[in-house]
Structure 1
């Protein structure tokens, strides 16, 4: 069953009660409000995922309510109004509403539109969260692991596959010191031999690309006699 909470805002109690029945049958939580001010108060104190909003209401007009909601939240707003003129629809949608239905309406169509808006809202939120979790941020450097993309102060940095894997290894393990041997074995997946300076060469190239001053690195730091690390 769905767990999303929907706010129904309309000064006609019969309409609110009827919509509530259909939404609850579909498993949604429902909160009711009968004027614009009450709607805003509800939104300030409850976690609401979608608003069904009338236009002609006491205290605060529905268009103004829509505008104020949009200033703070990106939740879907479906306007449900007796006003059917094109300009009313344009005004509602341009103020921030995601959909507009005219009274009288088919409640099954309304619930279908509710589901469509919530699917889109939940999908976009999940995508944003995944992208946010996917970013490692270090001193102006952003590493987008799934996209295998690196930016420095917003500018894309082109790294080779090996350079990227060295950077990602240390960035995922902040403050941990990696020896040359361990970096080589983890990245090249081969046995390390003494005197092999491959790792040092790649780190030098990497610093040239990501450090403001490669001779005084702030991101990839030496731990003398041990190896390298990235600090948080």
Structure 2
């Protein structure tokens, strides 16, 4: 089995040295980028399985690198940041990051976060390999679980992996009112380290994508959580 490939994008040599050592010891292949431009170039060339992306880099910062990568790929991205303001964390999630780690951090924590993300990927692949299709057909849109595609009138909507998983969990529990804690537990896992408001950020992105087609299917139940409600085709 080939090693998982990790791209470290950071302008701090110490981060590369320490993380590179721990990642190598844990059987990951490591690629190093020292600035934003190099990160984008190496991503296109090397196709890493996950990216550790520093926010404050010369030339092109981590936010812009993340946005550029998200134009073509849904590879998991963990933001590395010296900032600890709520705005910076939420902004990173809104532009497509999967998680964030505030500096200074323990290399063991980084390894754990990577394992948490990778641990959830095989279950996605297993769903893709099932021979029996799971298809949800609603009045205005359809969801193919096998293909991991949401379509409106034949047009594919863009959902990142975690957004699709969150939408699918809500669909599979239609009409049930689900708390943020329940969604974090079942979509992100027990050992998710991030902010509970991560759920709100992902819900907003799902709603924004649907709203372009006048679809309103995820409802807020104030003080509790969220609920999926939509009629299936007759």
User: Normalized against structure 1, the TM-score is what?
Assistant: 0.55
1:150/1:120 Cα in 2 relative to 1: closer, same or farther (>3 Å)?
closer
Alignment of 1:196-207 (within 5 A): none
Tell me the distance in 2 between the aligned counterparts of 1:118 and 1:75.
Answer: 11
CA deviations 1:90-146 (Å, max 9, x no partner) are 000111001011000011111000111122234323423x15xx3xxxxxxxxxx36
Tell me the distance in 2 between the aligned counterparts of 1:146 and 1:60.
Answer: 42
The aligned counterpart of 1:14 is: 14
Q: Does 1:39 align with 2:39?
A: yes
The aligned counterpart of 1:124 is: 124
User: How many residue pairs get matched?
Assistant: 139
Q: Does 1:87 align with 2:87?
A: yes
Task: Answer whether contact 1:2 1:26 (CA < 8 A) is retained.
Answer: no
Tell me the distance in 1 between the aligned counterparts of 2:67 and 2:33.
Answer: 17
Q: Does 1:54 align with 2:54?
A: yes
The answer to which structure, 1 or 2, has the higher relative contact order (CA under 8 A, 6+ apart) is 2
Unaligned runs of 5+ in 2: 143-234
SS at match of 2:71: helix
- Alpha-carbon RMSD: 2.2
Alignment of 1:128-167 (within 5 A): 128=128, 130-131=129-130, 134=131, 145=132
The aligned counterpart of 2:162 is: none
SS at match of 2:7: strand
CA deviations 1:164-192 (Å, max 9, x no partner) are xxxxxxxxxxxxxxxxxxxxxxxxxxxxx
Q: CA offset at residue 150 of structure 1?
A: 11
The aligned counterpart of 2:156 is: none
Larger radius of gyration: 1
Task: Answer whether contact 1:75 1:121 (CA < 8 A) is retained.
Answer: no
